[in-house]
């Protein structure tokens, strides 16, 4: 829910974390929750889509974004 998400970020002073589609998967900055067949060999190991955004405060990560990663079929 966009309204709930906006309210959380304003009241708790947190930043929404999104993983950009097509960027390399990085387990220290995102959490892989699924996979999808890669449309090309170059896409293997990259983010297909962000399933759920993450949140960070000024001092720490509160929740990593959940992403689907392209894999070899």
Q: What is the pTM of this model?
A: 0.80
Give the pLDDT confidence of 35-58 residue by residue, as tens digits.
999 999 999 999 999 999 999 998
pLDDT of residue 10: 55
Task: Check residues 12 and 23 and name the one with the higher pLDDT.
Answer: 23
Identify whether the C-beta of residue 62 lies closer than 8 Å to the C-beta of residue 14: yes
DSSP string of 11-70?
Answer: HHT-EEE-PPTTSBP-TTT-EEEEEEE-SSGGGTTBEEEEEE-EEE-SSSEEEPPEEEEE
Q: Which of 1, 15, 71 is nearest to 38 (CA)?
A: 71
pLDDT of residue 1: 47
């Amino acid at each position: 829910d966009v309204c709930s998400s906006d309210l959380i970020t304003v009241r708790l002073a947190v930043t929404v974390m999104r993983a950009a589609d097509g960027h390399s998967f990085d387990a220290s900055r995102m959490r892989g929750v699924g996979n999808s067949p890669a449309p090309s060999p170059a896409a293997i190991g990259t983010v297909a889509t962000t399933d759920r955004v993450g949140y960070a405060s000024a001092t720490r990560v509160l929740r990593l974004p959940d992403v689907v990663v392209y894999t070899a079929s």
